[in-house]
Amino acid sequence: MANSPQAAKRARQNEKRFAVNKARRSRIRTYLRKVEEAIASGDKDAAATALRIAQPELMRGVTKGVFHKNTAARKMSRLSARVKAMA
């Protein structure tokens, strides 16, 4: 429980920021899942397209502080390797 007006305000700000970050993280996971599903279906064109769409979303998550830079780079690297291996 916040004991000062300043702490109460910070608690309110944290709730808003948590909601924004949660929505952003969910959105990014959706794009990543679309890539995974395209890979699983065996459609290389769809997988490549989904990967191209997912990349800027993932990097935007890094900019906004939802993901660490290396985490995003690792995810992109692994997904692109899997798409490339479908040939």
Q: What is the DSSP letter of 1?
A: -
Spatial distance between the Cα atoms of 82 and 76, rounded to a whole number of angstroms? 10
Within 10 Å of residue 81's Cβ, how many Cβ atoms?
9
pLDDT digit string (tens) for 5-17? Answer: 999 999 999 999 9
Tell me the residue type at 7: A
In the chain, the domains with their CATH numbers are 5-84 (1.20.58.110)
pLDDT digit string (tens) for 15-58? Answer: 999 999 999 999 999 999 999 999 999 999 999 999 999 999 99
Residue 33 tokens, joined:
């899942």
| Cβ atoms of residues 66 and 21 within 8 Å | yes
